[in-house]
Structure 1
Amino acid sequence: MKKITFTLALLLVFIASNAQKDFQGMAVYESKTSTADFKSRMSGNKDMTPEMQKMIEERMKKMFEKTFILNFDKTSSIYKEEEKLEAPGQGQGGFRMMSSMMGGGGTYYKNAKEKTFTVDKEFMGKEFLVKDTLRNYNWKMEGETREIGGYMCYKATAVIPASKTDFRNFRPKKEEDVKKKEEEAKKEGENKSVEAKAEDKKEKKTSFFDEVELPKEITITAWYTMDIPVNQGPEGYWGLPGLILEVNDGKTIILCSKIVINPKEKTEIKASNNGKVVTQKEYDDIVTKKMEEMMEMNQGQGRGGMQMRMGR
């Protein structure tokens, strides 16, 4: 009798183990970043024609509105942008570079059990494989609930440092701050000699970064469901007792629009192995250095030219 009971227990453990091993889910996320401030600045640019403004708005929509697919099991996940056929000439130059820094790019692999992530990125024509430890979000449970797609969700928030290599974190400077700086520069210039003014004009630098600023911290608001008890979510978000269905950082909203549990076609959930292996800090340093070099290269260019190159 004891032998039968022991055998039955082993069988139940085996079944449960295999059920957990075979479990897999798929979630579709729509990502949208607000561009209202940038569009307002762009419409006030007298040097920009309506045709040019329309073209830039179309490019911005492509960069700031994307669809992603998250495939996950009990411990790991892969997050990729939905593949779309691009028209000839699309995604070139500065727009393509900025697009790769707007949450798109390659495959974002997270292993919650090992607390590690791997993501392949292309930057300035070079392939990088960023491998590092997952961020600890220190989530605060807020006690609020709401329904998303038929799933009961719970609210959690976290405050994190703003990444300087993610363009979604940049905010346009307030119009009054820009004008104040220009007035101060004008007043200072009135007291300079003709030679000094000429030298200032020669060395003047203008860039996308002259009119944007990066906050020190951003507040993340997440909504997760206990109905799908996996600590996964879109991009690098994780660490809650249920699948994250929505994330809002005050500028970008990532919202789940579809969920399929145990789809017929299984997806291999594994990390990419393409590119030069670097840590997150090493990759950030590479991007920052390249952006500084670009600012040097654009020395003396007018505002309109730089706006076109950088997607403003």
Structure 2
Amino acid sequence: MKKFILTICFLGIYSLTAQNKGKITYRIEVIKDSIEKPFENLENSEAKNMALQMFQDSEPVEGYLIFNDSVSIYNVEPKIDIPGWNNGSDGLIITKSKHNISWSLAGGSSVYFNDLSRDFTITQNEIMGPTVRVIQKPKEWILTEESKVIDGYTCYLATIDKLNDKILKAWYTPEIPVKHGPKGFNGLPGLILEIEDVVFLWKAIKLDFKSPEADDIIEPVEGDLMTKEEFKEFCGDPFGKD
């Protein structure tokens, strides 16, 4: 493992293809094949079947990570509610647009700001009414030697253990030696190009190393600043611990 880590550091420092600023576009979607189909299990409650149906009806969205050597900011494409139209014989009917759970799980209306110099991530959101900013410390990754090539970049697998024996998988490349990634996932020795979070997938689909947005990343300052624990208390922690 020590030899592997030294190799990663060497690649990160000396890679000729390394880029230290830019904009990454991710395609984010539910891995539908990994989720139980609604109404197949007769023991499921109506509420569970409705939730499963939301996952099956979800559509992919895009998320954007803008980064440089020290800071990054991530957000999801703006939510657009487009109603359904039905020009039937009874006249024009407008139906309420469906909620896309992919948009919510990808980050929703939140903004994720990562500052390596201060070793924390700030998440800015307004899901509980007033806008708040939540500080989170770096995540604890498990590095492995498993590798694969993504868009021409050699990537390595890192994981995080979750509840109920679930594992989050991230693929990062030392060839782009910045410790950033989408939605507050960061701290690895290379840019994260792909994440599989149990039933949810982030995949980089566009890498733009000439984006002028990377030269002017502004830290979110609106809203009270609180720790993750304070935020859970503020929300009532309806979903329990991570």
TM-score by length of 1: 0.55
Assess if the C-alpha contact under 8 Å between 1:106 and 1:119 holds in 2.
yes
Cα distance in 1 between the residues matched to 2:102 and 2:24? 25
Task: String of CA shifts for 1:248-306, please: whole Å, max 9, x gaps.
Answer: 232222111111112245563122223343321222233345679xxxxxxxxxxxxxx
Assess if the C-alpha contact under 8 Å between 2:30 and 2:102 holds in 1.
no
Aligned in 2, Cα 1:66/1:287: closer, same or farther, shift over 3 Å? farther
Q: Work out whether 1:104 is the aligned partner of 2:108.
A: yes
Q: Work out whether 1:82 is the aligned partner of 2:77.
A: yes
| Aligned counterpart, 1:286 | 234
Within 5 Å, which residues of 2 pair with 1:113-124?
Answer: 113-124=117-128
- Which structure shows the higher strand fraction? 2
Amino acid at match of 2:119: K
Assess if the C-alpha contact under 8 Å between 1:229 and 1:242 holds in 2.
yes
Q: Work out whether 1:257 is the aligned partner of 2:181.
A: no
Assess if the C-alpha contact under 8 Å between 1:100 and 1:122 holds in 2.
no
What is the Cα-based RMSD across aligned positions, in Å?
Answer: 3.4
Aligned residues with identical type, % of pairs = 25
Amino acid at match of 1:74: D
Higher mean alpha-carbon deviation, 96-105 vs 261-270, is at: 96-105
Assess if the C-alpha contact under 8 Å between 1:71 and 1:267 holds in 2.
no
Following TM superposition, the consecutive aligned residue runs of length 4 or more in structure 1 with deviations greater than 4 angstroms are 35-39, 43-48, 56-60, 95-102, 264-267, 289-292
Aligned in 2, Cα 1:58/1:134: closer, same or farther, shift over 3 Å? closer
Assess if the C-alpha contact under 8 Å between 1:97 and 1:123 holds in 2.
no
Q: Work out whether 1:151 is the aligned partner of 2:146.
A: no
Task: String of CA shifts for 1:82-130, please: whole Å, max 9, x gaps.
Answer: 1243215446xxx589964653222110111211221221224x03323
Amino acid at match of 2:157: K
Cα distance in 1 between the residues matched to 2:203 and 2:148? 13
| Aligned counterpart, 2:91 | none
| Aligned counterpart, 2:183 | 235
Task: String of CA shifts for 1:149-180, please: whole Å, max 9, x gaps.
Answer: 121111222325x5xxxxxxxxxxxxxxxxxx
Within 5 Å, which residues of 2 pair with 1:1-312?
Answer: 24-35=21-32, 40-42=37-39, 57=54, 60-62=57-59, 65-88=60-83, 89-90=96-97, 95=99, 100=104, 103-124=107-128, 126-137=129-140, 139-160=141-162, 162=163, 215=164, 218-264=166-212, 266=214, 268-288=216-236
- The total of aligned residue pairs comes to 205
Assess if the C-alpha contact under 8 Å between 1:127 and 1:274 holds in 2.
no
Cα distance in 1 between the residues matched to 2:169 and 2:45? 39
* 5+ residue gaps, structure 2: 1-19, 84-95
- Which structure shows the higher helix fraction? 1
* 5+ residue gaps, structure 1: 1-22, 163-214, 293-312
SS in 2 for 1:117: strand
TM-score by length of 2: 0.69
